[in-house]
Amino acid sequence: MQYVDVKIHDSVATILMNDSQRCNALSPRMIEDLQTALSDIHQETRVRAIVLSGSGNHFCSGIDLQMLEQIATMPSPQAYGESLNAWQRFADLLETMLRFPKPIIAAVDGAASGAGFGLALAADLMIVSTSASLSAEAVRRGLVGGATAALLSFRVGAATAAKMLLTGESIDAEEAYRRGLCEKPVSPDQVWVAASDLATRCSHAPREAVQATKRVLNETIGETLMVQIAAGIADSATACSTDAAKEGVSAFLEKRPPNFL
């Protein structure tokens, strides 16, 4: 795996996204490596729970915007197909996490933005540092964060989802804790320790009971969640072909304010 490292300590596996130069952006290769890591850990009987974290200063900056910019230069029918494929790979990763038989704890330090926030929301539990920030900022790029919208609404309700999705504004660690998104924030140097401790506590229950409980949460109570994610990524792919998205992505990569007409 090029962008993901896996370490196992006792009954807990740590999956570390390791592309800090690009803030652990969800490129096709990053997504593929995460799927491979989860598949490998699935077979490890000694592993009872997982910590998902990012190297460097940020958890994950979201979908790879350089990839979206390249897709935007393609003819419209081809661009939509490529965009849908890109978002579908992300949706497949989310579904793998939601259906994964072992608890996953996201350990978030720094920014979890857009699809990176969605990745953290697909984990069963979230630990954040006092310097963490969470945002669903697709709308500010002329994009639609459909999968993140479904997960955010599922985790904390439509009111919080509407505010975050429509404004694109980030919330800090204390606000995330107040809204029930995460455990009480810890110092940056304690994020992995707290996440590992929580993972260990989850691993004390019998495997069968934990797996069945995850199914109840994500597939019974959340019976329409997978459908909502699928609908969301279709809307995300459609939005990628608009002039607003092209300008928003270009402006971000060029580090300038967007000029939406």
**What's the pLDDT at 42?**
95
User: What is the pLDDT at residue 191?
Assistant: 97
Residue with tokens 């490998």: 40
Give the residue from 197, 232, 6, 256 showing the smallest Cα distance to 122.
232
Separation between Cα atoms, residue 152 and residue 187, nearest integer Å = 24
What's the pLDDT tens digit per position in 39-92?
A: 999 999 999 999 999 999 999 999 999 999 988 888 877 888 999 999 999 999
- Taking the alpha carbons at both ends of the chain, their separation in whole angstroms is 42
pLDDT at 83: 92
43-40-85 Cα angle (round to 5): 125
pLDDT (0 to 100) of residue 80: 87
CATH of domain 4-191+199-253: 3.90.226.10
Helical packing angle, 115-122 and 76-99, nearest 10°:
30
Residue ranges in the chain modelled with pLDDT below 50 = none
Sequence ranges of the domains in the chain: 4-191+199-253
Q: Interior CA angle at 215 toward 211 and 220, to 5°?
A: 160
Percent of the chain with pLDDT over 90: 91
Structure pTM?
0.95
Q: Which residue has the tokens 């204390």?
A: 174
Spell out where the chain has E strands. Answer: 4-9, 12-17, 49-54, 104-108, 111-113, 125-128, 133-135, 171-172
- Which residue, among 134, 121, 181, has the nearest Cα to 156 in the 3D structure? 181
pLDDT digits (tens, 9 = 90+) for 132-153: 999 999 999 999 999 999 999 9
Q: Please give the pLDDT value at position 78.
A: 85
pLDDT number for residue 74? 83
pLDDT of residue 1: 86
* Structure confidence at residue 154 (pLDDT): 97
Relative to beta strand 133-135, strand 125-128 is unpaired
